[in-house]
Amino acid sequence: MFEQIERVPGDPILGLIDAFNQDVNPSKIDLGVGVYRDAQGHTPILRAVKEAEALLLARETTKSYIGSHGDPQYGQHLLSLVLGSQSPVLEAKRACATQAPGGTGALRLAADFIHKTLPQAKVWVSRPTWPNHLSIFEAAGVPTRDYAYVDAATNSLDFESMLADLQEVAAGDVVLLHACCHNPSGFDLSEHQWQKIADLAEDKGFLPLIDFAYQGFGLGLEEDAYGVRLLAERLPEVIITSSCSKNFGLYRERLGTLIMVAANHDQMQNVKSQVAVVARANYSNPPAHGGAIVTTILESTELTAYWLQELDEMRTRILDLRHAFVNALKPQGLGDKFACIAEQKGMFSYTGLTPEQVDRLRDEYSIYMVRSGRINIAGINDQTLPYLCQAIAKVCQ
**Binding string to ligand LMR for residues 11 to 50, with x set by CB under 6 A, is what?**
--x-------------------xx----------------
Q: How far is the CB of 368 from ligand LMR (least distance, A)?
A: 12
Known active-site residue 246: yes
242 binds ligand LMR (CB under 6 A): no
212 binds ligand LMR (CB under 6 A): no
With CB under 6 A, what is the number of residues at the site for ligand LMR? 6
344 binds ligand LMR (CB under 6 A): no
Site for ligand LMR in 45-104 (CB under 6 A): none
- DSSP-derived pairing of the beta strands 238-243 and 207-212: parallel
CA dihedral 385, 389, 392, 393 (to 10 degrees): -170
Catalytic residue among 28, 211, 272, 345: 211
3-state secondary structure the chain: CHHHCCCCCCCCCCHHHHHHHHCCCCCCEECCCCCCCCCCCCCCCCHHHHHHHHHHHHHCCCCCCCCCCCCHHHHHHHHHHHHCCCCHHHHCCCEEEEEECHHHHHHHHHHHHHHHHCCCCCEEEEECCCHHHHHHHHHCCCCEEEEECEECCCCEECHHHHHHHHCCCCCCCEEEEECCCCCCCCCCCCHHHHHHHHHHHHHHCCEEEEEECCCCCCCCCCHHHHHHHHHHHHCCCEEEEEECCCCCCCHHHCCEEEEEECCCHHHHHHHHHHHHHHHHHHCCCCCCHHHHHHHHHHCCHHHHHHHHHHHHHHHHHHHHHHHHHHHHHHHHCCCCCCCHHHHCCCCEEECCCCHHHHHHHHHHHCEECCCCCEEEHHHCCCCCHHHHHHHHHHHHC
Q: How far is the CB of 293 from ligand LMR (least distance, A)?
A: 19
Known active-site residue 345: no
Binds ligand LMR by CB under 6 A, chosen from 87, 99, 155, 183:
183
Catalytic residue among 130, 158, 165, 272: 130
Q: How far is the CB of 254 from ligand LMR (least distance, A)?
A: 11
Q: How far is the CB of 13 from ligand LMR (least distance, A)?
A: 4
Q: How far is the CB of 236 from ligand LMR (least distance, A)?
A: 30
CB neighbour class for 57 (10 Å; exposed up to 12, middle 13-18, buried from 19):
exposed
173 vs 224, which CB is nearer to ligand LMR?
A: 224
95 vs 140, which CB is nearer to ligand LMR?
A: 140
130 binds ligand LMR (CB under 6 A): yes
215 binds ligand LMR (CB under 6 A): no
329 binds ligand LMR (CB under 6 A): no
87 vs 104, which CB is nearer to ligand LMR?
A: 104
250 binds ligand LMR (CB under 6 A): no
Known active-site residue 272: no
34 vs 227, which CB is nearer to ligand LMR?
A: 34
14 vs 263, which CB is nearer to ligand LMR?
A: 14
The count of C-alpha atoms lying within 13 angstroms of the C-alpha of 185, restricted to the half-sphere facing its C-beta, is: 22
Residue number of the CB atom closest to ligand LMR: 34
272 vs 374, which CB is nearer to ligand LMR?
A: 374
Catalytic residue among 246, 272, 307, 345: 246
Site for ligand LMR in 348-377 (CB under 6 A): none
296 binds ligand LMR (CB under 6 A): no
Q: Which residues are marked as active site? A: 130, 211, 246
Contact footprint for ligand LMR (CB under 6 A)? 13, 33-34, 130, 132, 183
